Amino acid sequence: MLSERQKNILKYIVEEYIKTARPISSNAVCEKLECSSATIRNEMVHLENMDLLEKNHFASGRIPSEKGYRYYVDNLMQPKHMTGEDVLKLQRIFENNALDLNDTIKRSIEIVSEITNYTTVVLGNSAKDNCLKKVEIVPLEGNKILTMVITDKGFVEHKTLFLPKNISVEEVRKTVDLINKLLIGTPLDSINEQLEYSVKPVIGKYVRQHELLYNTFYDAFSEITNKEERVHFAGRTNFLKQPEFNDVEKVKELFTKFEDENCVKEIAEDKKGINVYVGSDSELSDDVSIVKTHYNVDGEEGTIAIIGPKRMEYDKVVSLLDYIKSNIGGDYE
């Protein structure tokens, strides 16, 4: 259990370090709290023994440890009011409520990155649990043909195919009709099985060049199913503004993870509320923190995550995310 004074010291150190990125000395603290630097130093030793503070080297000031940030977030942090300007920027996006939810979210995370200088990412749910709504084709000029696969939850995957000369539009239409007749309502994660068991045996009867077409739809279904998550980043380069990422090696490590689907998938969240993961808790890199939340608006689910250095303005970020969450609607979890 921390004394009131210890809490004040820890709070001051965390907030000041977040602002300046420099270790905080006992002198700096004692200018704020009314006691001598020696007293502060004694307390600092206690806080360090509790693993809440760290030193870079023997005679440096203190910086918060991972556990220190954690304690700050859980116990000391106060919600930060958003500035009128920031509210205004976001309001402009939410006003137009007829918009597509994904658009709204994408636009709002652009703003979030702009006003926080952190990186933001949305992970939409995968289409795995969707069912086929229908397949549709639109013949285009030349021998091109637009094919669309549409799921019951509104996923769309489209391809423009160049028809070889030995396949007519009619053949394609027959294939599509067959797929629609036999597969509508099938869950995507078993659709290729179904395609094989129901469609493959009969397609030969109706369609001449059936193999190529069969393979095309097989591929299209695979793609829409395997597109694990729809990922959208904003402000990726913001990390380059942070002094702790002045080292190209660190940037490389992080950016490589951003490009790696498996790492990005890890960011997905399923807990309720707004959750803060500091450093190693983020599962991404010991040098970053992630503030994230899951959303579910009439069945459209996903995760919004704000990624910044551990030295992140947690209070601001949490308020922002809270504001966005309450504005996109949905069950408030």
Partner DNA sequence: ATTTAGCAGTCGTAAAATAAGAGTGCTAAG
Partner DNA sequence: CTTAGCACTCTTATTTTACGACTGCTAAAT
Binding site for DNA (CB under 7 A): 23-28, 35-39, 41-42, 44-45, 48, 55-62
Tell the smallest beta-carbon distance from residue 219 to its own copies (Å). Answer: 7
- Using an 8 Å Cβ cutoff, are 114 and 235 in contact? yes
2 contributes a contact to its own copies by CB under 8 A: no
Tell the smallest beta-carbon distance from residue 303 to its own copies (Å). Answer: 18
Tell the smallest beta-carbon distance from residue 260 to its own copies (Å). Answer: 10
- DSSP annotation of 281 reads G
- Residue 4: count of CB within 10 angstroms of its CB: 7
Stretch that binds its own copies, among 100-108, 224-232, 274-282, 313-321 (CB under 8 A): 100-108
What dihedral angle (degrees, nearest 10) is formed by the CA atoms of 98, 103, 106, 108? -20
328 burial via Cβ count (<10 Å: 0-12, 13-18, 19+): middle
Q: Which of 3, 27, 83, 96 is the binder for its own copies (CB under 8 A)?
A: 96
228 contributes a contact to its own copies by CB under 8 A: no
Q: Which of 21, 45, 138, 184 is the binder for its own copies (CB under 8 A)?
A: 138
102 or 192, CB closer to its own copies? Answer: 102
**Integer Cα distance of 178 and 317 in angstroms:** 51
The per-residue b/e assignment along 240-279, b for 16 or more CB within 10 angstroms, e otherwise, is eebeebeeeebeeebeebbeeeeebeebbbeeeebbbbbb
134 binds, among DNA, its own copies, none (CB under 5 to 8 A by kind): its own copies
- Using an 8 Å Cβ cutoff, are 306 and 120 in contact? yes
**Integer Cα distance of 85 and 104 in angstroms:** 19
- Using an 8 Å Cβ cutoff, are 322 and 332 in contact? no
8 contributes a contact to its own copies by CB under 8 A: no
49 or 97, CB closer to its own copies? Answer: 97
Element (H, E) at 292: strand 288-297
**Integer Cα distance of 135 and 60 in angstroms:** 65
Question: Which residues between 189 and 218 bind its own copies (CB under 8 A)?
Answer: 212, 215-216
From residue 102 to residue 131, the character string flagging contacts with its own copies as x (rule: CB under 8 A) and all else as - is xx----------------------------
208 binds, among DNA, its own copies, none (CB under 5 to 8 A by kind): none
Question: Which residues between 279 and 318 bind its own copies (CB under 8 A)?
Answer: 297-300
58 or 162, CB closer to DNA? Answer: 58
Q: ∠252-106-227 over CA atoms, to 5°?
A: 70
Is residue 149 classed as helix, strand or coil in its secondary structure? strand
252 contributes a contact to its own copies by CB under 8 A: yes
Tell the smallest beta-carbon distance from residue 328 to its own copies (Å). Answer: 11
Tokens coding 41: 């130093």
**Integer Cα distance of 107 and 100 in angstroms:** 11
36 or 256, CB closer to DNA? Answer: 36
141 contributes a contact to its own copies by CB under 8 A: yes
16 or 301, CB closer to its own copies? Answer: 301
Residues at the interface with its own copies (CB under 8 A): 96, 98-103, 133-134, 136, 138, 140-144, 146, 148, 150, 152-154, 156, 158-162, 164, 212, 215-216, 219, 236-237, 240-241, 245-248, 251-252, 255-256, 259, 297-300
